[in-house]
Amino acid sequence: MGLLSLGTPLHWNEAKNYADHVRKHGIEQFLHIYNYQKDRQTQCLLWGDEIEYIVVKFNDQEKTTKLSLRAFDILEKLEKPEHDWLQGIQKEPPAALWRPEYGRYMIEGTPGLPYGATFRDLVGVEENMKLRRRMAHEAMNPDEYAVSLVNYPRLGCPNQVYPEEETNLTACQSMFVTDQIINPHARFPTLTANIRRRRGSKVQINMPIFHDVNTPKPFIDPTIPWDRELSKHDKEAKEGAALPDHIYMDAMAFGMGCCCLQITFQACNIDEGRRLYDQLAPVAPLMMALSANSPIYRGYLADVDARWNVISASVDDRTPEERGLKPLKDSKYVINKSRYDSIDSYLSNDPIYKPKYDDIDLVYDKDIYQKLRDSGVDDKLAKHVAHLFIRDPLVIFKELLDLDDSQSSDHFENLQSTNWQTMRFKPPPPKSTIGWRVEFRSMEVQLSDFENAAYSVFIVLLTRVILSFSLNFYIPISKVDANMQTAHKRDAVLNDKFYFRKNVFPASTPRGDPQQAVQAKEEDEDAHELMTLNEIVNGKENGFPGFVPLIQSYLNSTNIDIETRCKLSSYLSLISKRASGELMTGAAYLRQFVQNHPAYKKDSVVSDEITYDLVKRADQIAKGEYHPQELLGNFTA
């Protein structure tokens, strides 16, 4: 959940006139924070997870499901313990914090307080996740459930929401969804509309259809209202926005209505935060493939397993000039990516960093870069911020234009929080005791709390290994980008290879080598190669050691009790078996569920009947009422 401010949001035609004002003061706010917090040291690791849920209304008599648009009624109950604690009515801090999300059918839960650095904290994660799910259900009606699917399979199909949809299309102007499903807070309809207005067209999302034996070739989607004329943008579908053999979607809701699992770490200091940012960046695509859990969009099986490109396209506000479709005239830059995408540059000044790793051209605001450099910010951090600030602020509140830059970070966060990348480097809030943080954003939410805990704990342990063993995961940024696209592929875990560094251990210093030998040694030390996820996670003989063996080696060096070690080992084993193919990813399991369903006609269509059974199964798995061996093995969800 990004910045939620209150006020009167400006239409894009007015907001664009204040873009430079927001950028200028956003930089001033960043500099106040940087100068105040750059030397901050924190004592220990703090971290937390964010899990997003879809609220689904079940009708067991008719065997149908619908998205429940009652998230705000539910959140009112869930947020009460936090409000009581903040007002001093309740002495104990809440067990969980709850927030709204983009969809009016979504809720987000986090632990009430950050987890600490101990192994005991790690084994308490799953229980907190289970508690959150129980809390959510207790705040709902008896026929509603919090389901941790990445996306609702038939979002955008007729009759999929409760209460029934109104025909308000002011913000999204979609052929498939109405504004009713958008969070009513002014930020979200404005964000939706201003992306469309800035772009000059509706967003264009096309996911390849999964061609089953009865899927038409070419597939021309019969559910698209090709001749509708409710808005000027309706003609875009038949003018080329909707591609053959693809599932076409045309609204922000299809992306930002997806749920994910995100992990935020508080580093000891700014340098450690920047190091973790860099070292986790090459891991992000790998974890997206390992956690892949979204093979269905708008009622069809897709030929992809992950959500990232859907969300990326759903918030792509770039103009035709910025996308390179027209010569630059009114826009300043050609920008290669959506504002929701993988990172474009490394951030750390660690001695193991080498400029050759940043092998793609970084687009950044030269004036902002110079302002930051003149103010004492180092080259890489200045470029990082100046790159974020090539974007325009999309939501500007009239009442919040003029702020005290020494006390507020609203203008900085306006741009920071709408650059949705695989990694996010998060400065502390102004004048706070919170440290420098790093957010790991690529993973897909899992069906059960056991799985979500396993993926969360795995990433935390990997950060401990990176820091304890001084590991080096640097590869060229272009290869990280390539891995992101590979990670989307159907069954990428089983069938594809990913670029990763061959030698991750600290290099020994050469002594007396001739220059040529030194250069050859450096190239060898920096070499990367294509590896399977099984090789990267579990290791390869006489080669890459593997994430799980490295973590096990780290655990062997610590003082840890047997019970805790067993629990952590079960999490590592799940990740290990997913990587080896012994256990399915969530995406493979959901795809198999659809294909094996008696009502499936082998035509790629995920019907209402199939959706009811699939969502019911997801809920049963989360509650431990059904145990799919192929997904969970012998582990208890």
Q: What is the pLDDT of residues 352-373, one digit of tens each?
A: 999 999 999 999 999 999 999 9
| Residue % of the chain over a pLDDT of 90 | 92
* Spatial contact of 338 and 318, defined as CB atoms under 8 Å apart: yes
Structure tokens at 23: 């950028």
> What per-residue confidence (pLDDT) applies to 523?
61
Mean pLDDT of 455-477: 98
In a domain, 476, yes or no: yes
In a domain, 577, yes or no: yes
Mean pLDDT of 375-386: 99
> What per-residue confidence (pLDDT) applies to 1?
47
Contacts of 482 (CB under 8 A, 6+ apart): 499
In a domain, 587, yes or no: yes
> What per-residue confidence (pLDDT) applies to 406?
95
Q: Is 64 helix (H, G, I), strand (E, B) or coil?
A: strand
**CA dist., res. 178 & res. 168, Å (int):** 6
**CA dist., res. 347 & res. 275, Å (int):** 7
* Spatial contact of 391 and 198, defined as CB atoms under 8 Å apart: no
The model's pLDDT over 417-444, given as tens digits with 9 standing for 90+, comes to: 999 999 999 999 998 899 999 999 999 9
Q: Amino acid letter at 331?
A: S
> What per-residue confidence (pLDDT) applies to 15?
98
In a domain, 535, yes or no: yes
> What per-residue confidence (pLDDT) applies to 5?
59
Structure tokens at 65: 């499901």
pLDDT band at 514 (very low <50, low <70, confident <90, very high): very low
**CA dist., res. 22 & res. 415, Å (int):** 9
**Residue that is written with structure tokens 């590896």 in the block:** 531
Mean pLDDT of 453-459: 99
Res 509 pLDDT > 50? no
More confident residue, 524 or 56: 56
Positive or negative, the Cα torsion across 469, 474, 475, 480?
A: positive
- CA dist list (Å): 387 to 270, 361, 369: 19, 11, 9
**CA dist., res. 141 & res. 300, Å (int):** 29
Strand 46-59 and strand 144-147: pairing? antiparallel
Q: Specify the DSSP class assigned to residue 296.
A: E
Mean pLDDT of 78-90: 95
Contacts of 434 (CB under 8 A, 6+ apart): 266, 428
**Number of domains, the chain:** 1
**CA dist., res. 386 & res. 370, Å (int):** 9
Q: Terminal CA-to-CA distance of the chain, rounded, Å?
A: 27
**CA dist., res. 498 & res. 301, Å (int):** 25
Res 524 pLDDT > 90? no
Tally of CB atoms within 10 A around 370: 12
- pTM for the complete prediction? 0.96
**CA dist., res. 156 & res. 123, Å (int):** 39
**Residue that is written with structure tokens 């997913």 in the block:** 578
Res 78 pLDDT > 70? yes
Contacts of 210 (CB under 8 A, 6+ apart): 295, 300, 301, 302, 303, 490, 591, 604
Contacts of 164 (CB under 8 A, 6+ apart): none
The model's pLDDT over 48-67, given as tens digits with 9 standing for 90+, comes to: 999 999 999 999 999 999 99
Mean pLDDT of 532-558: 96
**CA dist., res. 209 & res. 511, Å (int):** 57
**CA dist., res. 483 & res. 421, Å (int):** 15
In a domain, 463, yes or no: yes
Res 73 pLDDT > 80? yes
Name the nearest CA neighbour of 488 among 298, 205, 258, 293: 293
Phi-psi map region of 435: left, alpha, beta (phi>0 left; psi -120 to 50 alpha): beta
In a domain, 196, yes or no: no
Res 515 pLDDT > 70? no
Res 520 pLDDT > 70? no
Res 268 pLDDT > 70? yes
> What per-residue confidence (pLDDT) applies to 517?
45
Mean pLDDT of 217-241: 96
pLDDT band at 251 (very low <50, low <70, confident <90, very high): very high
Average per-residue pLDDT for the chain = 95
> What per-residue confidence (pLDDT) applies to 108?
98
In a domain, 472, yes or no: yes
- Vertex 426: Cα angle to 420 and 430 (nearest 5): 125
pLDDT band at 168 (very low <50, low <70, confident <90, very high): confident
Can you give the residue range of the structural domain that contains 531?
449-632
Mean pLDDT of 267-291: 98
In a domain, 372, yes or no: no
| Residue % of the chain over a pLDDT of 70 | 96
> What per-residue confidence (pLDDT) applies to 203?
98
Mean pLDDT of 541-547: 93
> What per-residue confidence (pLDDT) applies to 508?
59
